[in-house]
Structures are given as structure tokens and as C-alpha cells.
Structure 1
């Protein structure tokens, strides 16, 4: 069956390696699909960390509860929507690579910004360290907040969310549960 999602010219076809996708919980696989759709719709060449954050918040209830109240979450979503309608134009055509985390040399990361690929790998490592075979949304949120130079953290901070505090709250809750 042919994929009916149009590709932007000069955009590499997204990789669908089974091994890469097998490391994702069903919920996180849906997040990745949403981020891919958002990147295509926005005309971006790669999925970046802001696409992942937007999709995470839209589709994962556990991620939404990690924020400090509805007002904070609404402000983050407001910035993400602004990005979708033009706020992110300064990012268009630019590859996201914060340099803060090591780039993952993984063929499954084709179509991903280096920061987004590193965040996905970090989510998987976190899940494994907690004894799980598959990464979930909260694992990805922690991984995103760990890269203080990525676009997702820039969005969080513009919305008044302290990424370090958010990460600490999630990690603390994970260690207590």
C-alpha cells in the first residue's frame, strides 16, 4: 500500500525501521506519528523537539499532568500553536542541533533533527534504566527537558516553564512510584 501523506520536495522519506519503532510504547509511537505529520504540515525537513513536545502534550495525558497546572500547560500550547502558524518560521529550513547531547548515529534517525534523535534515544535509555522494554511519553518529556538548548526547551521557557524544575519533578515522582 502506498503512503498517501505527501512529502515536501527535497525532504528525505521518513525511516520506518521496525527496530527503532519497536522501542516505543504504543502511546509514544502515536506521538511520533503526530510529530511527523506536524513537521510535514509545517513544511519542515525534519521532526524537531518542538514537534515532539507539541504532539506529546496533545496526545499523552500523563505528560499533561506533569505540568504545574492548567494555566502553565495552556501557555505552552499557546506558544506551540503560534509556532505552527508562523512563530517557528525562523527555524524553518534550519536543522536543529543544540550540541548539548551527543548525536545518535542511528540509521533509524533519518528525517529527525539531531536533537530529536538524541531525545528519542534518551527516552529509550531512561525506560531501560527503569526496567521497561519500551519508552513512553514521560520518558521522552524527561529526555527533552534534559537538553537545555533544544527547541522544545526554548518553547517551555518562553511559556514560563522551568525545564530543569519540570525534569526534577518527573524524576522525583518516578523514584517515589
Structure 2
């Protein structure tokens, strides 16, 4: 039987050992990341709720794109009226249509270890958020924003968000190049003179 003194010593030892998250786990919970703006953290949280509601195992780039389009006017302004309507139409039908084939598979960008824990971010979604944070840092901003996440989503040609864009007749490569060019031309702010994607 362990005495009270020994139990206290054991507690002290355990509390002094830092707890390490499982491999890849930190990248799967970036809505707590101090590098995200409050608005972008809300987008990630909303995408998680959407994934749970849809019965999907993980939050993927299509969930992030859907929530981003609904909540960020700057991101919506990138697309013209008919395309945004078509995009949202595709995304709304996810749980009853094309998205059903994704439910049994992990969206893997190849950039991060595949973690199959239900409720986490897919590796591609985690990579898109990391890309967003890096893009913000390059322009000298401490916080990643919606346009940064859009750039992160379209940077991976295998992302489900890119598949959705392609289905709505939007060239994701052209959009990625434009966002990259805007970031280079206006490092301290987003370019707004390019007009919507046609």
C-alpha cells in the first residue's frame, strides 16, 4: 500500500514531466493557435462543427472553404456572383451528394502525418492553416486571416477544397497564382484591384 508521502512524491514527479501530445496532434488543433485572428479561429471552430454535423470523421479543406465563404466578406469578394452561388450550392449538398465518397477516407496532403482521430483536422486542412500562418508572417502580420487560409487551401492541388472549386469552374491554380502575386505586390495589405475570379 502506498503511503500518503509516497503518493505526494509521485504526484510531484508526474507534474514536473511535460506532457507531450501524440505525434501530429498539435497541428490538429490550430483553432487554439495564437497566430490565428479571432475571425479565422471562429472559421476553424465553425468548420469543426460542420464536420461533426455532416457525420465526417475529420474537418477537411472543403469544410474550411465552406465556413470561410459564409463568414468572410473579403474572401467572398474574390469570386463573382454566379460562381459564389454555385460554390455554396456544391458545399451545401456535401452531406447528401458528392461528399459522401470522402467519408471513409482521410484527406492527406502528404505534408503531415496522417492522424485518424475523429474530430481532428485532416492533414491537408492542418497544412492549409500552417500555410496561412506562414503567409501572414511573411507580410509581417502576427495573425493569419481569411485570405491567408484561402491561399493555403488552393496551394494544395489535391485538397478537397480545390476539387470543389474545380467543380464550380474555378481554376484553383490561377487563383493560387493571383493570391501569391497579390501578396508580393502588397506585402502589408491585400490587393483589392484584381477584381473577382471570372
TM-score (norm 1): 0.81
Residue in 2 that maps onto 1:118: 127
**Offset of 1:28 from its aligned partner?**
0.4
**Higher Rg:** 2
1:57 paired to 2:66: no
Q: Structure 1 residues 36, 74: closer, same or farther in 2, change over 3 A?
A: same
- Shifted more, 85-94 versus 134-143: the winner is 85-94
**Are the counterparts in 2 of residues 47 and 112 from structure 1 also a CA contact under 8 Å?**
yes
Residue in 1 that maps onto 2:93: 82
Residue in 2 that maps onto 1:70: 81
Root-mean-square deviation (CA, aligned residues, Å) is: 2.2
Higher RCO structure, 1 or 2 (CA under 8 Å, sep 6+)? 1
**Offset of 1:147 from its aligned partner?**
0.1
SS at match of 2:77: helix
Q: Structure 1 residues 104, 137: closer, same or farther in 2, change over 3 A?
A: farther
Q: Which runs of 5+ in 2 are unaligned?
A: 1-24, 187-198
1:154 paired to 2:163: yes
Aligned residues: 157
1:144 paired to 2:153: yes
Q: Residues 132-166 of structure 1: CA distance to partner in whole angstroms, max 9, x if unpaired?
A: 11111100100100100110000100110000111
TM-score (norm 2): 0.73
Q: Residues 54-99 of structure 1: CA distance to partner in whole angstroms, max 9, x if unpaired?
A: 01100011111112x1111111111111113332111012111133
**Offset of 1:129 from its aligned partner?**
0.6
